[in-house]
Amino acid sequence: MEDHPSTTMEDDPEFHLSSYGNTRAYVSQLQSLRDAALDHPLVAGTAFTLVLRPVVSHAHGRPLPRFAARLPKVCEVVLERALQTGCDKRSQVWVACVRDSALPDEELGRIIVKIIQPSLLPHPDPSSFGQMDWVSPKGLACTEDWTYGELQSIQGREIPYYYGMQTVVVPSGETAWILAIEYVEGQTIPQWFNSTHEQDPYGNLVPKDLTPEMFDRLKMILVSSLESITAIHTLGVFHGDVSGRNMLLSATFPDGPRIVFVDLAQAVPLAALPRTGGDQLLEACVESSVCCGEHWDVVREWAEEGPLPGGLKFPAH
């Protein structure tokens, strides 16, 4: 087997940007690892052996996949379809198939895996002393792991179920973190907007459907977005990146549209912020519902008049 540069979880994630020289050496190491990663990338069929940890089924949430009843268990996880790959991404995201290590021909279900590969993350700038925007690989992985732990009680409803984090060696020989997460069937908000609208010559969304049923669905989505972000805040977490691409409209929820928040790697404790998180309430409403004027004007007026279900209130501007 060809030798590739390698790094370990003991040195790379613990790196501190304390001096110009250290940063330059670190970036040089990362670039060498990146070259190897591009020569030997993750591809469909790449397999990892993982221990998926058990989760507790949410009483009012999505049903667990059938493999969850067997956890904890050593499983073979095989990459199937890329959702996000490439350089300068915070993670490599794939849909993966779960198989029993003892019965490799038996497919047990699908999960999402987020692979935090240090060399493929944005690199720190050796010429900049502050590095305010740089986040260490360990910081990204551990933040998301911490967040799922804090939000355990709403896993399976407002956020995905979470099967844990561990380290793996990727095909290039580099050590990376891998997080195993529920595969939530559905669409991101931008995908749903595109499926329910056409585009005019200027790229603006034009609604296909102005029926009362469509407006009822839009109202349910707005309420669900408020419910989900409120549930996250109630448990003391500030999401960190409320955007349509991180909001999934679950297709499997039994009683109507349900917004599921994903990508928790930028979350922070709510208590650490000088504000209460109220801005995210409005962001959640806007990101989930502002598709076109014909839809948004009606839904916003309804929400502002209230009352909304569950005692929710539409946030003021």
pLDDT tens-digit map of 110-140: 999 999 999 999 998 877 665 667 888 888 9
Percent above pLDDT 90 for the chain: 70
**Highest mean pLDDT out of 22-26, 41-45, 307-311:** 41-45
The answer, yes or no, to whether residue 105 has pLDDT greater than 90, is no
Residues 304 and 155 in one domain: no
Residues 178 and 191 in one domain: no
Q: What is the CATH number of the domain that holds 285?
A: 1.10.510
Residue that finishes a domain, picked among 159, 182, 205: 182
Residues 219 and 132 in one domain: no
Q: Cα(70)–Cα(179) distance, rounded to whole angstroms? A: 19
The answer, yes or no, to whether residue 261 has pLDDT greater than 70, is yes
Residue that finishes a domain, picked among 154, 182, 210: 182
Residues 33 and 166 in one domain: yes
The answer, yes or no, to whether residue 16 has pLDDT greater than 80, is no
Residues 178 and 194 in one domain: no
Contact between residue 188 and residue 247 where contact means Cβ atoms under 8 Å apart: yes
301 against 125, higher pLDDT: 301
Residues 174 and 197 in one domain: no
Q: How many residues would you count in the chain? A: 317
Which is nearest to 175 in space by CA: 232, 118, 239, 237?
118
Residues 149 and 193 in one domain: no
Q: Say if 12 falls within a structural domain.
A: no
Q: Give residue 290's pLDDT.
A: 95
6-33 mean pLDDT: 64
Which is nearest to 178 in space by CA: 244, 270, 243, 113?
113
Residue 66's domain spans which residues? 20-182
The answer, yes or no, to whether residue 22 has pLDDT greater than 90, is no
Residues 174 and 194 in one domain: no
pLDDT band at 184 (very low <50, low <70, confident <90, very high): very high
- Total domains present in the chain: 2
